Structure 1
Amino acid sequence: MLNPSTTPSAQLFLPLSDELVDAVNLIEQANNWQDKYRQIMLLGKLIPPLAAEFKHQDAQVKGCESQAWLYHYRLNEQHFYIADSDARIVKGLMGLLLVACQGKTAEQIQQFDVNQYFAHLGLSGQLSPSRTNGLTALAQAIVAYTHDVGT
């Protein structure tokens, strides 16, 4: 477990910007994989980087090929996340999951179907097996935090 002094302040866990939500809409509207990929990369750039002191092994998402970190904060019944990755495409994919889950209740997050969401965005079958596995691991970590009342 991480020492509270080495975890991000609760003030960093904010609702996502309209710019991030708009970026997901652009991915949904893109007509081909190249355009979707470009929009995912741009989405990743919109997510603020995690400070180096918070890139702890304990916060790493297991199952991602790239390094990826995820933090959780619960405020009342809403769940908030911050995430980062050393790979731009992974950071963009994280952004998609954050837009889908940020500020939602445990029940809403637990009912979230990552496969259906990515099919809706037109991304099914476009990601490599290792990216899909990493994305699934991230989605599972997001759901797991909703079960852990101590975070």
Structure 2
Amino acid sequence: MAQDAFEDIVADFEFLDDWEDRYRHVIDMGKAMDPLDDALRTPATKVEGCASQVWLHPVVEDGRFRFDGDSDALIVRGLIAVLRALYNGLPVAEVPKVDAGGELARLSLQDHLSAQRSNGLRAMIGRIRETAAAAA
């Protein structure tokens, strides 16, 4: 079972019938995030494998994982917001166990993202898992 914040997104997607409405919702979620501090936009936080510029800044506090992120593409910022809902607040040891593909399939994202965006999403998930596994 996913986190409550992710379940809220699933519920929103069930309410929104049209994919364009869902797409706009993802973009709005990204717009609602605070921008990542410029000092955190470094080569160490940049995610390779994404068509756009993507930075993820992970933090582990009291055994819990969270990350902030940013992108120069609105839809990717929204995807970061979706991933934050999926992962933020989990015990760090639980992060690599999340079936991200299965959870994201509930949103039918894979059916509506370009191949490049899908590759970038996988790269972000990979970075999240690697970071959490190293911190566990």
Deviation of residue 106 (structure 1)? Answer: 2.8
User: Does 1:132 find its partner at 2:124?
Assistant: no
The answer for the alignment partner of 1:3 in structure 2 is none
CA distance in 2, matches of 1:48, 1:126: 26
Q: Counterpart of 2:59 in 1: which secondary structure?
A: strand
Contact 1:28–1:36 (8 Å) recurs in 2: no
The answer for the alignment partner of 1:145 in structure 2 is 131
Q: Counterpart of 1:71 in 2: which secondary structure?
A: strand
State the one-letter code of the partner of 1:79: F
Deviation of residue 23 (structure 1)? Answer: 5.4
| Aligned mate of 2:94, from 70, 86, 108 | 108
Q: In the superposition, relative to structure 1, how do residues 112 and 20 fare at CA in structure 2: closer, same or farther (>3 Å)?
A: closer
State the one-letter code of the partner of 1:40: V
* Partner deviation per Cα, 1:78-102 (whole Å, 9 max, x = no partner): 1111111111000000110000000
The answer for the alignment partner of 2:26 in structure 1 is 40
The answer for the alignment partner of 2:12 in structure 1 is 26
The answer for the alignment partner of 2:44 in structure 1 is 58
* Partner deviation per Cα, 1:7-36 (whole Å, 9 max, x = no partner): xxxxxxxxxxx9997556423432121111
Unpaired segments of 5 or more residues in structure 1?
1-17
In angstroms, what is the RMSD of aligned CA positions?
2.2
Aligned residues: 133
Contact 2:48–2:123 (8 Å) recurs in 1: yes
CA distance in 1, matches of 2:131, 2:118: 20
* Partner deviation per Cα, 1:27-72 (whole Å, 9 max, x = no partner): 3432121111010110001110012222112210111110010111
Greater Cα offset, 119-128 or 90-99: 119-128
CA distance in 2, matches of 1:36, 1:105: 29
CA distance in 2, matches of 1:109, 1:136: 15
Contact 2:6–2:86 (8 Å) recurs in 1: no
